[in-house]
Amino acid sequence: MKTITIIYEYEKVINKVNEDIKKSNFKLQYFLDLLNLKRSFFYKKMKEKRFTNDEMKLLSKHLYPEEHLEYEVSLINKILEKSIKEVESGEVEDFENVLNEAKKEYGL
């Protein structure tokens, strides 16, 4: 999908999220707690369609669980395919080296 298409589709998405929040089986308090927002600020965000990307990701995970699961499975499959190609092409590192680097990086 082209960037300009995504930009114009976003308005449809945010409108749908607002409607779906209102129609959802969740109580408003659930979303307030989920996003850690006060009621007035939450309504302002809905009215102005100003949810952040992180808020949208969190909301969509709870409003559209089936779609979110499909997305996660698709993402995991892509990562696995990439990993398999890297192993097949010999782009691998010894586990001990990776472990030692992680220990150094995180001070363990």
- Tens digit of pLDDT for each residue in 75-99? 999 999 998 998 899 888 888 988 8
Give pLDDT, residue 90. Answer: 87
Give pLDDT, residue 15. Answer: 87
Q: Residue ranges of the chain with pLDDT lower than 70? A: none
Tokens of 62: 């709870």
Give pLDDT, residue 31. Answer: 95
Give pLDDT, residue 7. Answer: 87
Q: What's the one-letter identity of residue 25?
A: N
HSE (CB half, 13 Å, CA atoms) of 41? 9
Query: How many other CB atoms are found less than 10 A from the CB of residue 103?
Result: 10
Give pLDDT, residue 105. Answer: 86
